Structure 1
Amino acid sequence: MTSKINKSQVHPAISSNQQQRFSSAEQAFTKQDFQTAESLYRQLIQENVQVPKIYTQLAMLCAMSNRIAEAKSLWTYALTIAPAFVDALLGLGDICKYEKNFIKAADYYKKVIAGNPQHALAYLNLSYCYKQIGKLNDSITACEKALAIAPNYIQAKEFLGQVLITKGDLTQAKQVLNSVLSENSKSVKALYALGNLLKSQGDFEQARECYQQIFSIQPEFSQAHFTYSVIHKYVDKNDPHVRLMQSQYQKPNINLDNKIQLCFALAKAFEDIQDYETAFKFLDEGNSLRFGGYNYHIDSDDLFIKNIIKIFNKEAISAINIETESSEIPIFIVGMPRSGTSLVEKILATHTKVHGAGELEYFFELGTSGLLSETSDFLFLPLNNYAKKTLQDIGKVYIEKIKSLTKEESYITDKLPFNMLLVGLIKLVLPNAKIIHCVRDAKDNCVSIYKKNFTTDNYRFAYNLKALGQFHRLYTELMAHWHLTFPGEIYDVHYESLISNPEIEIRKLIKACGLEWQEECLNFHKSKAVVTTASAYQVRQPIYNSSVGLWQKYESFLSPLLNELDKS
């Protein structure tokens, strides 16, 4: 904060002149004359006026102009004047939320609620934080409390629909979202969430209608453009949606996130019409903009993967004597992103004894939060450094969590690709779990990754061709280590073989999972099971080979990637 306060000189009261300037500042703020408002607030702070709202309003102005550190300092100081001041608590909560420190943000919102139990906004913000840390039931409860306080709180209804979708309660989610749209047919958030829900269920026509409604209401809502592009087949550059996206893309002062999403969507459109040079131009720009938002270097992943290989070796694992979880329920589907994990899960989930759970974070969170810490530089320690109960509980808690997902099927698939990092831990604590490894041609796999604007920040290597090639080499080294450590216990599914000989490869896959053959597994694309990943559209199509060898269309642009892959 730029204006320092000398507490020994604090004025116990505010003069009439200061009160008049304070009122003028508030009026200027209301009229969005932010320059005048800030000048007046700063005068009052310089005079040591101890009114918390002065600090919170100036903090708000700082936050609005991205001066986050000063905003944080001002809101923090306001709490020294009035420890329960709502605006300051909300402001600090919002900063923590912005910084993705959702646990700390939740603590601030709880403090607001403790003093103001009818504060609907605090409940909604708390709901958002709970969703981000995976506490979906708590998120739903907080959202419902916001609605109990303010039944017409449309933002809370919109968010409740999103949380219910994440939880998989699609029937109730659809009811909530339709209820929002009956009250406000122009709610783009409800339309977008409903469109995504319909897409996950394979109802692409109705999903398209939802996205198209968004275009007419709020054409700058770029998420809808991006998602629509995935399920739409473009035939020429005069497609109305291409023209609409280009008009949005060319707007001055376009929001960075919007520009990134439009770049990826336009790349998809131009690839469809086989204009690969223009497609790559948009791909390269979208990836460069996204990569520029990270401070990523391959060294961190190199160190982590080398640490995994060192710690989870055959001798160390065999020396650990723990009471393992004997369940055969989980089937882990691992590999690089975009390597066919969704396709393999869709095939398996067609079997009557298998529940497709999608990309679960459960095991990865249990394994990393339980075994990595700041004191170990977030690297694994030798296995004998961990208490037996710590290791045993990872398997036990994981099985408890996935059992709650279904009461009908005997097996549950978990297709989080990055569980490939924890294969050693999986086999240590869940020795009877099946591991299915999806393998795809390195060049096609990396190009497919480069074409995807992921919704999480988990794949930072994905947005730079050199880093992508470097990471793929690390992945290859890691999987070779797992095959040596657990010979015969990891089943490789080769994407190209699956595409060219589906019946033979599907029969082998079903057998590898210890399942009896069911003819329906060949008709996986007709299944009504929900698919929430980026491949929701592709896996509902019959087997196709158009993506095999696609990298060659972009070969002249891929030198940084190809140079790295050639080092393998």
Structure 2
Amino acid sequence: MMKNGLQAAFQLHRAGDLAAAERTYRQILIDTSKDLNVLHLLGLNLHEQGKDREAVVFLEKAVEIGPTIGVLYNSLGVVRMALGDLRVAESCFRKAISLDSVCEEARRNLAAVSLKLQGQTSVPQSPMASSRSTAAIGDSEQAEQILRQRLGEFPDDLNAYIELARHWMERGKTREVIDLLSEPVERFPQSMELANRLGEALGRENRHDEAEKIFQRHLERFPESVTAHINYGVSQLAQERTSQAVSSFERALELNPECFRAQFLIGIAWRQSQQYDAAEMALQKALELQPGSSEALVELAHLERLRGNLQKGLETLTAILDRDPCHGPALLGLATCCETLSDPDLVVQYCVKALKANAKFAPAHLLLGMVLASRLTPDKRARLELAEREELGERALLHLSSAAKFAPSAEAMEAWGSALINMGRHAEALGKIEESIRLVPVFAPAHESLGRIYLEQGRIDDACAAFSAAVRLDPRRALAQFELARSKKVDDVPRSIQQVRALLARGDLPFREQVLMHFALAGLYDADKNYDAAFEHYQIANRLKCEDPRGLLRSGDREMQKKARFHTQEFMEIFSEEYFREYSDRFGSESELPVFIVGMPRSGTTLVEQILSSHPDVYGAGERIDIADLTLALPRRLNSEARYPQAAVLLTQQVAREMADSYLEQLRKLAASAMRVTDKMPINFRHLGFIARLFPRAQIIHVRRDPLDVCVSCFRQNLEWPFCDLDAAAIYFQGYRRLMTHWKEVTPLRILDVRYEDLVANQEEESRRMVEFCGLPWDEACLDFQGSKRAVQTPSKWQVRQPVYHSSVGAWKRYERHLGFLKKTLSDKS
């Protein structure tokens, strides 16, 4: 019984489940308190957890029972050195050498502690010693230098190769490890550890075929090696050869029927190939070999999440945390479940707990960084103040860079790059995404992100190629499918329709991917001129979008629609004619630098900005949310509990000037020498009363378009409420129309109306009119706007790189039979 318990504890120990192993060792000691092996292993276990004071107690007991066993003194010396008891450690290592003259490990440890006593840094510990012991010896650069020096003097020192490789692997220097070991692995064909290190490094660099050859050759030399079979299987699994990998793991089990690792990896293999029943069976067998294994239980919980049994997965993870509240993988599992439930606050909470338990836990850094970065997407960042966005962005990048540092991977690099895209830092993002693809050329998410960068930079053909690569590698990449459908550059539309329909029919796409796939299918039907089918899928996509994942209807709430209408009335009542008479001499700035381009979404604001920003004296700043930031900050700046727009009544000239200056400062950071800077946030039309207080001399270009074309175009673009509900969009449009009429009547602003249809029909005349309105001389570059190289982050990014085209005028007529309520509401001028 005790033998089986010790074996189970040792397997837990080797698997890295130190807390569970510690509990099992201690349980054994209740029955047999003087078992030398248990005392020794428990001491090492505690040392690896950083509990060195406790470790000393058990190791000293072991030494008392086995005073003639050199390895016990060596282990005690390692722990004493970690505690800084260098003289005691030195004595322990000398005693170990005197008892076992061939104990090379003790000799190296003695050299290490001797250098420490001389005030120098030594080499890292042997493989037996923990990474913490390595850190205790001193500075990593000096440790590397000493190891290099050792190899220079003794080029056949196998242990030095292994130690330097381990040292570099811990620091992510996998390429250096490959260069280091490629030659000595030929000279030392009998060394399994050397082969394992090289194979692991090749695997991390995603050179799995080369790793497989290393392991295969080693297996031919040692056909009875369980480890060799497992390593061989891991390299096969990385190449998605599931059946072969399972055969390798099963062969390892034949050699050692109690091998938990092999049985556990069979479960992983079946799970990765989406054979969930087989995966569960394998993992349950692993639990029979190692009862209570947290590693296997976490994987089972992950399996339940993939099956859609979130509650069962949560129960399993909670049970693990009941016995070990700081179990990092279980906390990460809970965070992942919460992400599936769209509860980002809980994701953050559990990731932070996991990182408190292990600050270098790369998966927690990765998930936390991704969740924080998700709040920086264009539709969400507008809800944050500037300071909040900047802080959130830096936190996200810190965690994502930490994930890439502690465990370099294609996933970490892609997530890092994706966050930079959301922050508008495309040049930096490109480097991260290219590195992700270098690590794993077949990693579909990286190709999708590469497409995003190219699209926003205007590299249309490159964007299409990248999105096509993503879909070819993984047809389930919903964003790539969506963007390709919008590009109107799909080669085989019927085949793509068939593919997307089949993906949707499976019914296993996550909520957000379902929305994008329906939009993609609608776009493909549009390209196929099947407009009724297209509209059907626009309706499905928008209906899904207007419901949260728990099925709570948002857009159908008539009270919300009434509030939207009332909110327009509130702006009109506060920013009244009397208001501007009262504050006629209390404006913020006389600057003419800003040009505000406003209107409904999809009205043509992007086209107007693209034309103007082609002028050498104009900088196109895109959809800035600075004005919204200032309105959010207004109550705090005025020390008032009144919220915007009510707080505008209290706006003093001093605060107006300070806010205007802060806005101008942001524009100047973007373009220090420009005479005009455009801000094309369309919904700034709501804030023109506030803008008039800050910049009474600003130019306002109001872009108008056929209301039916506007609302239908919004409906086709995957926008937020109210634009994902045609009824709500119609009511919103009514309010917009009333508000724009109001601004023209009461504010001191100069407002130029530009009809999208006139701009399309007579580009040069309308462009000249806009340039003249901005107080600038005409420049022919404005007629070649599609050649602009600036990045564009709007729903119009496909069209903005094309010359003016006429097909979008009257496009609503394709769907006319579905637009009864919309036409009726928009025809009501009240």
Give the TM-score range, shorter chain.
0.7 to 0.9
Paired residue for 1:362, among 626, 644, 648? 626
Structure-2 residue corresponding to 1:314: 577
Which string of whole-angstrom CA distances, capped at 9 and with x for unpartnered residues, describes residues 490-510 of structure 1? 222110110111111000111
C-alpha displacement at 1:227, in angstroms? Answer: 0.3
Quick check: 1:52–1:82 contact (8 Å CA) kept in 2?
A: no
Structure-2 residue corresponding to 1:116: 358
Q: Distance in 2 between matches of 1:377 and 1:97?
A: 35
Instruction: Name which of structure 1's ranges 509-518 and 139-148 shifts more when overlaid on structure 2.
Output: 139-148
The one-letter code sitting in structure 2 at the alignment partner of 1:306 is Q
SS at match of 1:331: strand
Quick check: 1:127–1:139 contact (8 Å CA) kept in 2?
A: yes
Quick check: 1:53–1:78 contact (8 Å CA) kept in 2?
A: no
Paired residue for 2:670, among 386, 390, 405? 405
- Pair 1:142 & 2:399 matched: yes
Instruction: Name which of structure 1's ranges 437-446 and 484-493 shifts more when overlaid on structure 2.
Output: 484-493
Which string of whole-angstrom CA distances, capped at 9 and with x for unpartnered residues, describes residues 388-430 of structure 1? 7665554333333333334453432222222222111122123
Structure-2 residue corresponding to 1:153: 409
Which string of whole-angstrom CA distances, capped at 9 and with x for unpartnered residues, describes residues 357-402 of structure 1? 22222221331354499x9796632534467766555433333333
Per the alignment, do residues 377 and 120 of structure 1 end up closer, same or farther by CA in structure 2, a change over 3 Å counting? Answer: farther
Instruction: Name which of structure 1's ranges 110-119 and 327-336 shifts more when overlaid on structure 2.
Output: 110-119
1:460-471 equivalences in 2 (<5 Å):
460-471=721-732
Per the alignment, do residues 66 and 415 of structure 1 end up closer, same or farther by CA in structure 2, a change over 3 Å counting? Answer: farther
C-alpha displacement at 1:103, in angstroms? Answer: 7.4
Structure-2 residue corresponding to 1:42: none
Structure-2 residue corresponding to 1:549: 810
Per the alignment, do residues 102 and 273 of structure 1 end up closer, same or farther by CA in structure 2, a change over 3 Å counting? Answer: closer
Quick check: 1:353–1:410 contact (8 Å CA) kept in 2?
A: yes
Structure-2 residue corresponding to 1:212: 468
Per the alignment, do residues 72 and 548 of structure 1 end up closer, same or farther by CA in structure 2, a change over 3 Å counting? Answer: same
Q: Distance in 1 between matches of 2:606 and 2:794?
A: 7
Quick check: 2:409–2:436 contact (8 Å CA) kept in 1?
A: no
Structure-1 residue corresponding to 2:517: 262
Instruction: Name which of structure 1's ranges 97-106 and 224-233 shifts more when overlaid on structure 2.
Output: 97-106
Q: Distance in 1 between matches of 2:743 and 2:315?
A: 49
Per the alignment, do residues 266 and 129 of structure 1 end up closer, same or farther by CA in structure 2, a change over 3 Å counting? Answer: closer
Instruction: Name which of structure 1's ranges 94-103 and 136-145 shifts more when overlaid on structure 2.
Output: 94-103
The one-letter code sitting in structure 2 at the alignment partner of 1:324 is G
1:109-508 equivalences in 2 (<5 Å):
109-110=351-352, 112-114=354-356, 116-131=358-373, 132-133=375-376, 134-135=389-390, 136-150=393-407, 152-233=408-489, 238=494, 240-293=495-548, 294-296=553-555, 297=557, 298-320=561-583, 324-371=588-635, 380-385=645-650, 391-454=656-719, 459-486=720-747, 489-508=750-769
Q: Distance in 1 between matches of 2:751 and 2:651?
A: 26
**Structure 2, unpaired ranges of 5+:** 1-22, 28-259, 282-292, 377-388
Q: Distance in 2 between matches of 1:210 and 1:59?
A: 35
C-alpha displacement at 1:161, in angstroms? Answer: 1.3
C-alpha displacement at 1:189, in angstroms? Answer: 1.2
The one-letter code sitting in structure 2 at the alignment partner of 1:328 is E
C-alpha displacement at 1:246, in angstroms? Answer: 2.9
Structure-2 residue corresponding to 1:8: none
Q: Distance in 1 between matches of 2:536 and 2:803?
A: 30
The one-letter code sitting in structure 1 at the alignment partner of 2:563 is S
Structure-1 residue corresponding to 2:828: 567
Structure-2 residue corresponding to 1:537: 798
Quick check: 1:499–1:545 contact (8 Å CA) kept in 2?
A: yes
The one-letter code sitting in structure 1 at the alignment partner of 2:648 is L
RMSD of the alignment, in Å?
A: 4.1
Instruction: Name which of structure 1's ranges 291-300 and 530-539 shifts more when overlaid on structure 2.
Output: 291-300
1:66-85 equivalences in 2 (<5 Å):
none
Per the alignment, do residues 88 and 512 of structure 1 end up closer, same or farther by CA in structure 2, a change over 3 Å counting? Answer: farther
TM-score by length of 2: 0.56
Q: Distance in 2 between matches of 1:287 and 1:222?
A: 15
The higher-RCO structure (CA 8 Å, 6+ apart) is 1
C-alpha displacement at 1:228, in angstroms? Answer: 0.6
Which string of whole-angstrom CA distances, capped at 9 and with x for unpartnered residues, describes residues 103-137 of structure 1? 78657655654553323333334433543253334
SS at match of 1:461: coil
Residue correspondences, number = 530
SS at match of 1:404: helix
Which string of whole-angstrom CA distances, capped at 9 and with x for unpartnered residues, describes residues 339-361 of structure 1? 00110111111111222222222
TM-score by length of 1: 0.80
Which string of whole-angstrom CA distances, capped at 9 and with x for unpartnered residues, describes residues 232-270 of structure 1? 2469853x3233223323334444433332322222222
SS at match of 1:463: coil
Q: Distance in 1 between matches of 2:665 and 2:314?
A: 40
Which string of whole-angstrom CA distances, capped at 9 and with x for unpartnered residues, describes residues 510-529 of structure 1? 11122221111011112222
Instruction: Name which of structure 1's ranges 264-273 and 113-122 shifts more when overlaid on structure 2.
Output: 113-122
C-alpha displacement at 1:182, in angstroms? Answer: 1.4
SS at match of 2:722: helix
SS at match of 2:717: coil
Instruction: Name which of structure 1's ranges 95-104 and 510-519 shifts more when overlaid on structure 2.
Output: 95-104
SS at match of 1:460: coil
C-alpha displacement at 1:472, in angstroms? Answer: 0.9
Q: Which has the higher helix share?
A: 2
C-alpha displacement at 1:166, in angstroms? Answer: 2.9
Quick check: 1:223–1:261 contact (8 Å CA) kept in 2?
A: yes
SS at match of 1:435: strand
Q: Distance in 2 between matches of 1:519 and 1:317?
A: 39
Quick check: 1:52–1:79 contact (8 Å CA) kept in 2?
A: no
Per the alignment, do residues 182 and 551 of structure 1 end up closer, same or farther by CA in structure 2, a change over 3 Å counting? Answer: same
Q: Distance in 1 between matches of 2:636 and 2:300?
A: 40
The one-letter code sitting in structure 1 at the alignment partner of 2:666 is K
Which string of whole-angstrom CA distances, capped at 9 and with x for unpartnered residues, describes residues 312-331 of structure 1? 22322453575724443322
Quick check: 1:235–1:272 contact (8 Å CA) kept in 2?
A: no
Per the alignment, do residues 228 and 378 of structure 1 end up closer, same or farther by CA in structure 2, a change over 3 Å counting? Answer: farther
Q: Distance in 1 between matches of 2:747 and 2:624?
A: 23
Flag the structure with larger Rg: 2
Quick check: 1:309–1:478 contact (8 Å CA) kept in 2?
A: yes
Quick check: 1:194–1:207 contact (8 Å CA) kept in 2?
A: yes
Quick check: 2:598–2:700 contact (8 Å CA) kept in 1?
A: yes
Percent of aligned positions with the same letter in both sequences? Answer: 28
